[in-house]
Structure 1
Amino acid sequence: MNKLLQNVNLAGASLFLQILGGNQSLALPHISVPDISWVDWPAVKAAGFKVCIFDKDNTLCEPFALAVPPALLPSFSACRAEFGGNIVLYSNSAGLQQYDPQGVEAAALEAAFGVQVLRHKDKKPAGGCEELQQQFQCEPHEMVFVGDRYLTDVVFGNRHGMLTIRVAPLTSQGEPPTVVAARVLEDACVRRWSASGIKAPLQQLLPHDQCSRLVKQKQQEQQQDQEQ
Structure 2
Amino acid sequence: MMILRLRPSETANSILGIDYARLRTLGQQALLFDFDGTLARKGASCMPAVSLSLLAELAEMGFRIAILTNRRSTRTIANITVPIMYHARKPRRAGYLALLRELASDPAHCTMIGDRTLTDVLGGNRIGMYTIRVRQHPCECP
Which band: TM-score by shorter chain? 0.7 to 0.9
- 2:37–2:136 Cα contact (<8 Å) kept: yes
CA RMSD of aligned residues (A): 2.4
Would you tell me which structure has more helix in proportion to its own residues? 1
Q: 1:83 to 1:64 in 2, by over 3 A?
A: farther
| Distance in 1 separating the partners of 2:135 and 2:100 | 27
- 1:53–1:143 Cα contact (<8 Å) kept: yes
State percent identity of aligned pairs: 26
1:154 to 113, 121, 125: 121
Q: 1:131 to 1:81 in 2, by over 3 A?
A: same
SS in 2 for 1:144: strand
Q: 1:143 to 1:58 in 2, by over 3 A?
A: same
1:142 to 102, 106, 109: 109
- Structure 2 partner of 1:113: 80
Kindly tell me the number of residue pairs found equivalent between the two proteins: 136
- Structure 1 partner of 2:56: 77
TM-score (norm 2): 0.81
- Structure 1 partner of 2:48: 68
Q: Deviations over 1:150-198 (max 9, x none)?
A: 0100000100110101000349xxxxxxxxxxxxxxxxxxxxxxxxxxx
1:93 and 2:95 equivalent? no
| Distance in 1 separating the partners of 2:86 and 2:62 | 20
- 2:35–2:69 Cα contact (<8 Å) kept: yes
SS in 2 for 1:28: coil
Q: 1:132 to 1:74 in 2, by over 3 A?
A: closer
Specify every segment of 5 or more residues in structure 2 that has no aligned partner in the other structure, as ranges.
none
Specify every segment of 5 or more residues in structure 1 that has no aligned partner in the other structure, as ranges.
1-21, 95-99, 172-228
Shift of 1:29: 0.6
1:126 and 2:104 equivalent? no
Q: 1:26 to 1:64 in 2, by over 3 A?
A: same
Residue correspondence of structure 1 range 168-207 to structure 2 within 5 A: 168-170=135-137
| Distance in 2 separating the partners of 1:145 and 1:135 | 15
- Structure 2 partner of 1:55: 34
Shift of 1:73: 5.3
Would you tell me which structure has more strand in proportion to its own residues? 2
Shift of 1:142: 0.9
Structure showing greater radius of gyration is 1
Amino acid at match of 1:89: I
Q: Which has the higher contact order (CA 8 A, sep 6+)?
A: 2
SS in 2 for 1:112: coil
Shift of 1:89: 0.7
